[in-house]
Amino acid sequence: MFDTIVVATDGSDSVGRAIDVAIDVAARFDAAAHALYVVDASEIESSPDEVRDDLRSALGDRGRNALDDVVEAASRRNDGLDVTTDVREGRPAKEISEHARDVDADLVVMGTRGRHGENRFLIGSVAERVVRTCPVPVLTVRQLTGEDPE
């Protein structure tokens, strides 16, 4: 049913459950797992010229750390699951959809809230755009809080 699964991460705490779900689905279907971090080009473009290169580098480092977290989670939960990682730069929703096309994904898994998600009502704007525009099914995973039932 699923041969290739992409999990999109922004390195926030709220994406942890989505990573766990993606790893479980990949393991269950013996699927290839891809983890993607997108450096948001609008963050870089809106910064002063003199700090853009440093900001780009810092965001790239944040992305590599976030991807390392996915790889570590996969190795803790399933020894046989290899995760291919990629850092891209651009508009997150567009890059996630394009990456899904590029790797011929069958499913994209992502959280509903990211680093900037606390001010969103129901679903994060990136997740909402991916759901609307991605050429493959998208599984959005809500981070549970202490009051939410397991």
Give the number of domains in the chain.
Answer: 1
Q: How confident is the model at residue 121 (pLDDT cuts 50, 70, 90)?
A: very low
Residue 146 lies in a domain: no
Compare 44 and 121 and report the one with higher pLDDT.
Answer: 44
The whole domain housing 104 covers 4-141
Does the residue 127 lie in any domain? yes
What is d(CA 132, CA 113) in angstroms, rounded to the nearest whole number?
16
Q: Report the C-alpha gap between 136 and 71 in whole angstroms.
A: 23
**What's the CATH code of the domain at 36?**
3.40.50.620
Look at residue 127 in the predicted model and tell me its pLDDT. 92
pLDDT tens-digit profile of 21-66? 999 999 999 999 999 999 999 999 999 999 999 999 999 999 999 9
Under DSSP, the state recorded for 123 is: S
Instruction: Work out the pLDDT band at 142, boundaries 50, 70, 90.
Output: confident
pTM of the model: 0.87
CB-based contacts of 119, cutoff 8 Å, min separation 6: none
pLDDT band at 114 (very low <50, low <70, confident <90, very high): low
- Domain-embedded: residue 113: yes
**Residue 147 lies inside a defined structural domain of this protein:** no
